[in-house]
Chain A
Amino acid sequence: MIIRGKAWTSRAYVMSFDMVVQRFWTSPIDKTENAKFIMAGVDAKYDKENAFKDEGYTFIVAAHNFAGGGKSIEHCVTGLMGAGIRAVFADSFARLQFRNAINYGLPFVTAPSVIDMVETGDELEYNLDTCELKNLTNGKSMTTAPVAPFVAEVAEAGGLLDFIRKKIADGTVADLR
């Protein structure tokens, strides 16, 4: 599968508690709702309903420790998905949000120095099968690490909760380990 679209980038730390500001930490998990004020603390211009979503990004490209700061909230991931983000590339990801991304089937792709080949607004193309990332605006490209089979399996099932619902319904939970 090939995803194509516009990128939002940041060289600075993008922290979980800025992606989802405190007044939403206890909100119910809902992609559309969680997307409304996503990134509100990263940039004040996004502290307006659907402001980030309305800029129409498909990708995020960042440097180290993306979504760091240790919040165990999963609205960071559901909010990005609700805002139209279909993959995030960074030098490294904070582990809690990396887990959450896998659990929701949103590709968080570790790609060293990817920030050096993309500016905000660039048009990117990512091939999920070959793991090739192309910057259509400047012609640069790179190949990312492949996705682990378990991650693909969870994504295929529609996320961890559906993956487990099916196993509970089938009576195959005991086979997990």
Chain B
Amino acid sequence: MTITEKIMAYNSGRDKVTPGELVWTDVFSVMTMDYLGKETFKLFDSLGAGDVFDKERVICVSDHLVPPPTPQFATMLNEWRAAVKAHDIKYFYDLGRQGIAHQIMVEQGHVLPGKISVGTDSHANTYGAVGAMGNAVAVSDAAVAMATGKCWFRVPEQVKFYVTGQWQPYVMAKDLSLHIMGMMRWNGHLIYKTLEYAGPAIDALDIAGRMTLCNMTVDLGAKNGIIAPDQKTIDFLRPVQKGTWDMISSDADANYEAIYEIDVTNLGPTVARPDKLDDVVPVEQVVGTKFNKAFIGTCTNGRLEDIAVVAQILKGQQVHPDVNFLLVPASTQIYKDAIKAGYIETLIDAGVAVDTPSCSACAGIHTGVAGDGDVVLSAGNRNMKGRMGSKNAAIYLTSPAVVAASALKGEIVDPRRG
């Protein structure tokens, strides 16, 4: 069996599972956030279950709406907080301790290898970075999981990406994500499936890079993305883990519907052009494209390792006067660590605006949304029309390295050439 099949089998009390089968499994943790949480608790209350299944394993996070941009959202946040309080939830990451929910779930050890966690936001696939099965659900499923500690799943077909080679300077996990997006497109190849990443080039990634890779599996249409735990996972989780877990990995003779081999030695910085996530090109093809907004943050690329790359590129230089550069750390912990490391001072000196952690402009709700005519170079995860605000804005998606190097010139550059 693959790691995902094993997780689904163990958590459904079976010896094995087969792709296509529908099973009910135990859920280790359930995440909901400010944007959809009030409705989730309302549906939960309607089930007649009394208390949530475990007050330490329903995790609540304020990320989409904080700090609130409008009176309407401020009111929504108040209702959300009242709902969280009413259910006596132990882990509530509200403004002041906030972060993007998926970052919090991994960073604070609420997801663990071999366990299944669900969240009411699509990028819950991120949890696969530490060997968990992370799955996005809507409010009804989350309400049921809060009540029962269970969720139903269709066992997904298994697809493996075996990744070898040497990562080149300024090439990041995001480039691999986008490259795979361009390679597989959206025509149903990966819909409902597990994307398992393995191989020496995956082993070489830190947890931050693995999170980027698993995060964007949802944008490939997949059900989950997963990387087997290793020593890096153990070291990352040890100080924060909210439970015990065992090592787990795919069997050597596991069945895959397809195995794709990729050598990252020849992978360069990669860009998705506006409106379609699967319209992906090597950076060379868009070099010289002018833009007026640069954005780094999100559950995809708002981590300390991403900020470090940006700070390294911008150190001692100035962002182009025609570019507004906004950087939003993915969590309060990351923000603090970036201050300690001196990155934030470097960024501010270079002319970057740094904001308090949130989903920020990525969800098009607040903090630096795009207006008519804006051309945004973003390290986020989606670029469809209207994603970051105006439908008349264009969004190029790429890695933090490309965003930083390009922001110095006011046009897209290849960071390997500067």
A residues lining the B interface (CB < 8 Å): 13, 15, 17, 22, 25-26, 28-29, 41, 64-65, 68-74, 91-96, 98-100, 103-104, 148, 150-151, 159-161, 164-165, 168-169, 173, 176-177
Alpha-carbon distance between A164 and B145 when the two chains are bound, in angstroms: 10
Is the CB–CB distance between B47 and A165 below 8 Å?
yes
Closest to B277 in A: A69
Query: What residues of chain A lie closer than 8 Å to B59, measured between beta carbons?
Result: none
B35 at the interface (CB under 8 A from A): yes
- In the assembled complex, the CB of A18 is this many whole angstroms from the nearest CB of chain B, namely 9
Please, how many angstroms separate the alpha-carbon atoms of A128 and B121 in the complex?
32
A73→B191 contact, CB < 8 A = no
Cβ contact within 8 Å between B191 and A177: no
Q: Are A72 and B148 in contact (CB under 8 A)?
A: no
A-chain residues with CB within 8 Å of residue B24 when the two chains form the complex: 176-177
Segment of B82-90, B167-175, B216-224, B399-407 in the binding face? B216-224
The 28 sampled A-B contact pairs (Cβ below 8 Å) are: A13-B186, A22-B364, A22-B386, A25-B35, A41-B386, A64-B186, A69-B382, A70-B123, A72-B122, A72-B138, A73-B36, A73-B138, A92-B187, A92-B191, A93-B191, A95-B221, A96-B122, A96-B138, A99-B141, A103-B138, A164-B47, A164-B148, A165-B46, A168-B49, A173-B148, A177-B12, A177-B23, A177-B26
Q: How many residues of B contact A (CB 8 A)?
A: 48
B25 to chain A, nearest CB (A): 6
Q: A17-B386, A26-B76, A177-B23 are in contact. Are A65 and B140 (CB under 8 A)?
A: no
Contact residues in B for A165 (Cβ distance below 8 Å): 46-48
Measured CA separation A71–B139 after assembly (Å): 11
Docked-complex contact A150 and B22, CB < 8 angstroms: yes
Contact A100 B140 (CB under 8 A): yes
Residues on A with C-beta less than 8 A from B148 are 164, 168, 173, 176
Give residues 122-141 of B contacting A (CB, 8 Å).
122-123, 136-141
Q: Select from chain B the residue with minimum beta-carbon distance to A28.
A: B39
How far is A165 from B143 in the complex, measured between Cα atoms in Å?
11
Complex Cα spacing A15 to B391, Å = 14
Q: Does B152 touch A at the CB level, under 8 Å?
A: yes
Are A161 and B136 within 8 A (Cβ)? no
Q: Which of A15, A17, A65, A74 contacts B188 (CB 8 A)?
A: A65
| A100, B138: Cα distance in complex, Å | 7
Is A164 within 8 A of B147, CB to CB?
Answer: yes
Pair A150/B152 contact, Cβ less than 8 Å: yes
Do residues B144 and A71 form an inter-chain contact, with CB atoms below 8 A?
no
Tell me whether B150 and A91 are in contact (CB under 8 A). no
